[in-house]
Amino acid sequence: MTSSPATSILLIVLPIAFNAAFAALAKTFDYPEILRRPTREILARFRAGDSGLVLLWWGFAMTAVLFAPLAVLLAFRLDGADPTVLVLGATVGVLAALVQFLGLIRWPFLVPYLARADAEPDATDARREAIDVIFQSFNRYLGVAVGEHLGFLLTGAWSILSGIALMQSGAVHPIVGAAGIVIGAVLVVCSFEFVAPFERNGWKLAAMLTPFTYIAWSLWLAVTGVVLLF
């Protein structure tokens, strides 16, 4: 398989897989709203999901892994663009895949252990308080800081660089590249939703933009894949 069809297939398949996994988690686990609930309630819901929920979280994390080869293959596909832009785009894309994977992979590996420990009949109040601190700390660090903040920031930067490269290469209509630049810029804005100064001040702009922007980003990936395929 040459890089051209492989790139197009990944551009089409990745957003479908990502949104399918996200929708399944929303239906079976009430994600992401469940994260606003107390830790014990979250862990109880996780235990109720059993191995099927663990596998679903693992699959969701794997969609982040797929983003790394996509970023590299797209750089090879747009050989008419500025080499510096292509190298930066591939590098930032791989980093975006890495931080999103790190943000998600706690769910199929760390959270099952915490859920089991929380349900042990001889667990003391002190132990459950420690579990709460560990869960919330990893949620803020890996989930919010690494997965969401850096994930949105780097994905937005990759989209901007890819949009520029698409326009430079002439492989697609300029409007496709321009759409990537605009969507990427909005993703960068969304990445600051949970940064402390904005969060304390009740900044709601990013919270309102994020779901719509990710839908637009998914559509942009798929459209780009279809256009490059033909």
pLDDT in tens, 117-164: 999 999 999 999 999 999 999 999 999 999 999 999 999 999 999 999
- pLDDT computed for residue 4 by the predictor: 76
- pLDDT computed for residue 202 by the predictor: 44
- pLDDT computed for residue 125 by the predictor: 95
Query: What is the DSSP code string of 80-109?
Result: TS-HHHHHHHHHHHHHHHHHHHHHHTHHHH
pLDDT digits (tens, 9 = 90+) for 28-61: 999 999 999 999 999 999 999 999 999 999 999 9
With CA atoms as reference, report the closest residue to 131 among 44, 25, 33, 36. Answer: 44
Residue 105: Cβ within 10 Å count: 19
pLDDT at 22 > cutoff 60: yes
Could you tell me if 77 and 228 are in contact, meaning their C-beta atoms sit under 8 angstroms apart?
yes
pLDDT digits (tens, 9 = 90+) for 65-92: 999 999 999 999 998 999 999 999 999 9
- pLDDT computed for residue 230 by the predictor: 83
Cα distance between residue 154 and residue 113, in whole Å: 30
Residue 4 DSSP symbol: H
pLDDT at 203 > cutoff 70: no
Cα distance between residue 33 and residue 29, in whole Å: 9
Give the count of domains, the chain.
Answer: 1
Domain that holds residue 215: 3-229
pTM: 0.93
pLDDT at 1 > cutoff 50: no
Residue 135 DSSP symbol: H
With CA atoms as reference, report the closest residue to 183 among 220, 226, 142. Answer: 220
The stretch 199-213 carries a mean pLDDT of 72
